[in-house]
């Protein structure tokens, strides 16, 4: 069983890491946002693997609940990170690099391979 002093120390370290992370991310320039998001996606994927390992080795219901919450938060972070990264990359690409949309109401143009818009 975890002693109360160990729990307090662990919570203190968690709170300090949280505040440090918030301060570091707050001062990141926009140009570094996409690489930073890719890094947090990698960290979240490591968290998911670690959570799956813990799930396979424990039978304590409290730990199972905490791991389930952690896994859902890490998965949400990965999905949102990819969506935000894609959106930011679209902002940096110029209008010449954006895909042209094909109108769905004209199926003959799509069959002929003409994807240009009117």
pTM: 0.53
- Is the pLDDT at 72 greater than 90? The verdict is yes
Most confident of 2-6, 69-73, 87-91: 69-73
Predicted pLDDT of residue 100: 55
- Judge whether 109 lies within some domain: no
Residue 70: exposure state from Cβ atoms within 10 A (0-12, 13-18, ≥19): middle
Considering the chain, what percentage of its residues have pLDDT values greater than 90? 8
> Is position 29 within any domain?
yes
Kindly state whether residue 107 falls inside one of the protein's structural domains.
Answer: no
Does the residue 59 lie in any domain?
yes
- CA angle in degrees (0–180, nearest 5) for 87-88-93: 100
Tell me whether residue 84 is in a domain.
Answer: yes
Residue 68 inside a domain? The answer is yes
| Residue 108 in domain | no
Indicate the number of domains in the chain. 1
Structural domain boundaries, residue 87: 4-95
pLDDT, one tens digit per residue, over 7-59 is 888 889 888 988 888 888 788 777 776 677 777 788 888 889 988 988 888 88
Within a domain: 104: no
């Amino acid at each position: 069983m975890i002693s109360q002093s160990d729990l307090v120390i662990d919570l203190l370290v968690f709170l300090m890491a949280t505040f440090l992370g918030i301060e570091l991310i707050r001062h990141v320039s926009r140009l570094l946002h996409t690489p930073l998001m890719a890094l947090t996606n990698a960290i979240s994927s490591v968290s998911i693997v670690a959570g799956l390992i813990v799930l396979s080795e424990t039978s304590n219901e409290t730990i199972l609940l905490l791991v389930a919450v952690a896994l859902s938060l890490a998965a949400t972070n990965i999905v949102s990170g990819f969506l935000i990264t894609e959106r930011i990359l679209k902002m940096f690409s110029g209008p010449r690099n954006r895909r042209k949309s094909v109108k769905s109401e004209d199926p003959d143009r799509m069959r002929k391979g003409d994807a240009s818009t009117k």
